Amino acid sequence: MIRNFNGKDIEEVIRLWNEVTPHSIIDNRTFVKNILLDPNYDERGFFLYEYEGEIVGFILAIIRRVPVDNGGKLDTDKGYINAIGVKCNQKYTSVAIDSLISAAEEYVYGFGDRRISVGGYTPNYFYPGIDSERAIILEALKEHGYTEGASHRSIRLDLSKYEYPEELRLLREERERDGFVFTTLSERYVTSLLSAYLPGWVHRFRRQLLETMDYSKYHIILKDGDVIGCTVYGDPYSAPERFGPFGVNEKFRGLGLGKILLAETLLSMKQDGLDFAWAQSTPMAGPATSIYDRAGFTTYRVFVSFSK
C-alpha cells in the first residue's frame, strides 16, 4: 500500500533508511534539517510503501519552489527524486519499487510536463544518483524509461598518514612570488567570495557560512585582492570530515593552484584532529580527478545518475 509520510513515521522511516542505505545513514536531526525543514519539502511528495503494516520502502520527490540562491532559477522544467529505498524481499520488493516510482512521477507531473532527475537536487541532496550496487533500483528505473547518465564517485583519504608534499611547498612559494596569496577567509573577502566566478558553488559557500560563521574552514586563493579559488570543510549538514566544494576560477587553472589549495585544506583538517577527509560527489574524470588521486584519495562508492 502506498501512502504519504507523516510525522509519526519518522522513527520507523529512519530505521528503514539506515538499513537499506547503510552508506548514507542519517539521524533524527539530519532528517528534520535536510528533509522536513527544506524550503521545497512537500509531504505530498514523500511516499511510503507498507506491507502487512510495516513500512518497507520510501521515495522522496521534490519540486523546487524556492531558488537555490538569490536570483537563482526555480527549475520550472524539472523535478527531482531525492531519495529512494526498499527492503529486499521477494514478496514485495519489485511491486514496492514500481509503485513508489510511479507515485513520485505522478506527483512531479502534477506540476506540468517536467524532466525528472534522480539525485542532484540542491542544496539538501543525500547522494548524486543511485549507488551502483543497488541493482534492483537501477533496473527498475530503466524499466520506467529513465536514461542512465554520468557516474560520480565518493572518495576518502586517511589523514593520519597525510603529509604536505614538499614539491607543493616549493610550488606554493613560486606562486606566491607570482602574486597569488593563500590564506583563510575573513570578513573583508566575503563579498569577493560570493561574487567569484565559481559556477554552482557560491550557494554552498554562502549556506555553510550562514550556518557556522566559521571562517577558518574556508581556504581561499587571492589574486590582486580578489578570491579566485576556494574550498571548505566541516559541512554542518553532514559531517566535519566532509570537504568541498573545491574549485579555482577557470582563468587561473593549469598553474597547480588547485593542488596547493587541496593540500592546505587537508593539512588544516589534520591539525583539527580529523582522522579522514571525504567528498560525497566528484566526477569519474575531469581536472580535479587527477588532483584527488595524486593526493591519495580512494574511491569507495560509485553513483549512477538517471533522468527521464
State the SS3 of 43-107. HHHEEEEEECCEEEEEEEEECCCCCCCCCCCCCCCEEEEEEEEECCCCCCHHHHHHHHHHHHHHH
Looking at residue 244, its pLDDT comes to 85
Render pLDDT for 110-139 as a digit per residue (tens, 0 to 9).
999 999 999 888 878 787 889 888 899 999
Domain residue limits, the chain: 2-145, 156-302
Better pLDDT: 90 or 81: 81
Render pLDDT for 262-289 as a digit per residue (tens, 0 to 9).
999 999 999 999 999 999 888 888 778 8
Render pLDDT for 156-168 as a digit per residue (tens, 0 to 9).
999 999 999 999 9
Looking at residue 109, its pLDDT comes to 96
Mean pLDDT calculated for residue range 292-307: 93
Render pLDDT for 255-265 as a digit per residue (tens, 0 to 9).
999 999 999 99
Which range (19-28, 58-67, 142-151, 193-202) has the least confidence?
A: 193-202
Query: If you search the block for the grid coordinates 582563468, which residue do you land on?
Result: 251
Chain mean pLDDT for the chain: 92
Looking at residue 55, its pLDDT comes to 98
Angstrom distances, CA of residue 272 to CA of 150, 207, 216: 34, 22, 11
Looking at residue 284, its pLDDT comes to 86
156-302: CATH topology is Aminopeptidase (3.40.630)
pTM comes to 0.84
User: What does the alpha-carbon distance between residue 187 and residue 15 come to, in Å, rounded to a whole number?
Assistant: 42
Looking at residue 288, its pLDDT comes to 80
Using DSSP bridges, classify how beta strands 298-307 and 115-118 pair: parallel, antiparallel or unpaired.
Answer: antiparallel
Q: Interior CA angle at 83 toward 82 and 87, to 5°? A: 165
Residue 113's identity, in one-letter code, is D
Better pLDDT: 2 or 204: 2
User: What does the alpha-carbon distance between residue 207 and residue 231 come to, in Å, rounded to a whole number?
Assistant: 13
Looking at residue 235, its pLDDT comes to 86
Residue 200 banded pLDDT, cuts 50, 70, 90: low
DSSP 198: -
Residue 4 banded pLDDT, cuts 50, 70, 90: very high
Phi, psi values for residue 216, rounded to 5°: -65, -20
Mean pLDDT calculated for residue range 194-221: 85
Class of domain 2-145: alpha beta
Is it true that 2-145 and 156-302 share their CATH fold?
Answer: yes
Mean pLDDT calculated for residue range 78-92: 94
- With contact defined as beta carbons under 8 Å apart, do 182 and 267 qualify? no
Q: Cα–chain-centroid distance for residue 59?
A: 18
R_g over Cα of the chain: 21
Using DSSP bridges, classify how beta strands 46-51 and 54-62 pair: parallel, antiparallel or unpaired.
Answer: antiparallel
User: What does the alpha-carbon distance between residue 217 and residue 43 come to, in Å, rounded to a whole number?
Assistant: 35
Looking at residue 179, its pLDDT comes to 98
Burial 85-110 (b: 16+ CB within 10 A, else e): bbbeeeebbeebbebbbebbbebbee
Mean pLDDT calculated for residue range 9-23: 94
Res 70 pLDDT > 60: no
Res 71 pLDDT > 60: no
For residue 245, whether the previous peptide bond is cis, meaning omega lies within 30 degrees of 0, is: yes
To the nearest whole percent, how much of the chain has pLDDT over 90?
Answer: 71
Looking at residue 164, its pLDDT comes to 96
Looking at residue 236, its pLDDT comes to 83
Res 211 pLDDT > 90: no
- With contact defined as beta carbons under 8 Å apart, do 207 and 243 qualify? no
User: What does the alpha-carbon distance between residue 243 and residue 235 come to, in Å, rounded to a whole number?
Assistant: 7
Mean pLDDT calculated for residue range 183-188: 96
Mean pLDDT calculated for residue range 33-44: 94
